Structure 1
């Protein structure tokens, strides 16, 4: 998931558009439904104890017809479009599962 914070005076949609462009090279034409979330993560993926609070916005974003299905990015470990209706949810991170359960 792209990460970042709103700049002064920037709305969530503006922040998301900027972050998607900066981190993934995408330009938003339309945005779907925003779902704010807050998570408290107590362990890493290896089971080590941590105390991490993550706040953000989950967006159901329609895939632009010209967007590639996957893309390498210097800011991420790679990404791909995911269709919540048809794709296998077992491959999603625990954070995404928690957001979807909200």
Structure 2
């Protein structure tokens, strides 16, 4: 946690005790690709490890929101680094497509 390098000595390594996959996640299309992870101990907050607000209700299409996320390790990627998409630098409109740079 806190780095995209698997061997970063400054990264926080915290065991997950539970995971909650979205009940409608589709592995073929990546629709509903979200998971909550319960950590065995609290993470230390820093400029690279932050909390996010979880909405209390569903937002309507065409309303502003902020998004973030990460990717996964695959066989065709350097095993020393995670691939991910950066959070949108500004809020996007729900119901529209956003162009997000890859690293």
TM-score, normalising length from structure 1? 0.31
Higher strand share: 1
Q: Which has the larger radius of gyration?
A: 2
Q: Larger % of helix: which?
A: 1
